[in-house]
Amino acid sequence: MMKDMFFTTEQVAKELGISKQTLFRYERKGVFPKARRNLINQWRQYTTDDLRRLKDIIRRSIA
């Protein structure tokens, strides 16, 4: 069985073309939904679907 693939905040920010701080700010302000957290270290983790949704949000805000 294959495990789900998760992306780090650094990877997601780079893919979105924003800084990690902006990613955190957008989450705090409610622009982005809250990310799920790793149960062990509480770091944010994103799936491919999460990344797709965040890209859609960015695209809509630019248009």
Secondary structure string (H, E, C) spanning 4-39: CCCECHHHHHHHHCCCHHHHHHHHHHCCCCCCEECC
Backbone angles phi, psi at 44, to 5 degrees: -70, 145
pLDDT in tens, 6-49: 999 999 999 999 999 999 999 999 999 999 999 999 999 999 99
Predicted TM-score (pTM) of the model is 0.85
> Does residue 51 carry a pLDDT above 70?
yes
User: Quick one: fold of 9-62?
Assistant: Multidrug-efflux Transporter Regulator; Chain: A; Domain 2 (1.10.1660)
Domain residue limits, the chain: 9-62
